[in-house]
């Protein structure tokens, strides 16, 4: 395999175990290949990401279309900004593992009326940096909610049974829509941390 910087994104409902697995994949890549990875997440640590977190916590409110556009704007800033932009890393040969990317925007903010519009808002991000693969960690909303409630003091905007159920089925229908267009890997997230990490490595090791 050519020596190319990889861009791998993680997707899933809140509490699905993305950050746990990103950390483990980074360690595994280092162990198996000696390569370091830059790990990052969306909403980003940039100015639009900070605003988004105020909406997610309920501190301030807005409508879903404004949120959708802000998530897409945050993504472009996350790619291009000069301080810690993703593109700067990949252009210098560094692999990037990112917690959430365009599919989160489609699954969380997309609905029958506005999905095509949100997809178009993300066309630039996809054309600038298309993930080598999107890893979807599939957990049942019940398990995800239990993990969130056990481990957190604050519950965010989308962290209810109703919302997580809706978002999970939105992801599953997106996979049908993007079949053949995007490399989407679905992993059973209702397993032990170690088993999930092995399943992920078995699916992505060919990239390294
Ligand atoms: P996310 O980044 O998707 O919100 P986290 O990795 O933060 O998910 O995991 C949410 C919580 O669930 C954390 O407390 C984590 O330790 C726990 N957790 C993650 N994966 C598993 C798993 N496979 N089994 C049980 N608990 C898990
Ligand atoms: P995150 O911090 O990944 O939450 P968690 O670790 O619980 O999964 O993401 C914060 C929230 O932002 C999450 O509820 C999903 C939401 N989100 C969107 O709604 N649209 C987007 O485009 C992105 C990137 C995140």
Residue of minimum CA distance from atom 12 in ligand 2? 43
* Contact assessment for residue 145 and residue 95, using Cβ atoms and an 8 Å cutoff: no
Cβ–ligand 2 contact at 99 (below 6 Å): yes
Structural element, H or E, at residue 174: helix 161-177
- The pLDDT assigned to 2 comes to 53
Mutate to test the pocket of ligand 1, among 11, 14, 25, 147 (most ligand atoms within 8 A of CB): 147
pLDDT of residue 42: 98
Residues of the chain scoring pLDDT < 50? 1
- What digits encode the pLDDT tens for the residues 142-159? 999 999 999 887 888 888
181 CA to centre of ligand 1 in angstroms = 29
Ligand 2 center to 32 CA (angstroms): 30
Give yes or no for a cis peptide into 43 (omega within 30° of 0).
yes
Q: Give, using CA atoms, the residue closest to atom 22 of ligand 1.
A: 193
Q: Which residues of 108-118 are buried (b: 16+ CB within 10 A; e: fewer)?
A: bbbeeeebeeb
Question: How far apart (Å, rounded) are the C-alpha atoms in residues 77 and 91?
Answer: 16
The per-residue pLDDT for 122 is 98
190 lines ligand 1 (CB under 6 A): no
Residue-level pLDDT at 7: 98
Q: How far is the CA of 20 from the centre of ligand 1 (A)?
A: 6
Write the residue with the smallest CA distance to atom 5 of ligand 1: 17
Give the whole-angstrom CA distance, residue 200 versus residue 195.
9
**List of residues 6+ apart from 150 with CB closer than 8 A:** none
DSSP states of 40-53 as a string?
A: EESS-SSHHHHHHH
Q: Return the structure tokens found at 116.
A: 């095509």
How close is the Cα of 147 to the center of ligand 1, in Å? 6
Q: How many residues does the chain have?
A: 208
Q: What is the CATH number of domain 7-207?
A: 3.40.50.300
Nearest CA residue ID for atom 26, ligand 1: 147
- Strand order through the sheet with 133-138: 37-41, 95-99, 7-11, 133-138, 184-188
């Amino acid at each position: 395999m050519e020596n190319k910087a990889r861009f791998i994104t993680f997707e899933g409902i809140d509490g699905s175990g993305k950050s746990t697995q990103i950390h483990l994949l980074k360690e595994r890549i280092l162990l198996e290949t000696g390569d370091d990875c830059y790990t990052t997440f969306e909403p980003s640590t940039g100015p639009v990401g900070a605003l988004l977190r105020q909406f997610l916590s309920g501190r301030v409110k807005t409508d879903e279309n404004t949120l959708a556009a802000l998530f897409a704007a945050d993504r472009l800033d996350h790619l291009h900004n000069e301080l810690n932009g993703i593109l700067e890393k990949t252009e210098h040969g560094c692999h990037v593992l990112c917690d959430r990317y365009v599919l989160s925007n489609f699954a969380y903010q997309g609905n029958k009326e506005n999905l095509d519009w949100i997809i178009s808002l993300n066309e630039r991000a996809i054309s600038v940096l298309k993930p080598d693969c999107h890893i979807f960690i599939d957990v049942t909303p019940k398990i995800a909610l239990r993990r969130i409630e056990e481990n957190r003091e604050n519950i965010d905007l989308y962290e209810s049974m109703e919302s997580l159920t809706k978002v999970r089925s939105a992801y599953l229908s997106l996979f049908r829509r993007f079949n053949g267009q995007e490399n989407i890997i679905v992993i059973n997230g209702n397993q032990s941390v170690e088993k999930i990490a092995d399943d992920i490595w078995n699916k992505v090791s060919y990239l390294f």
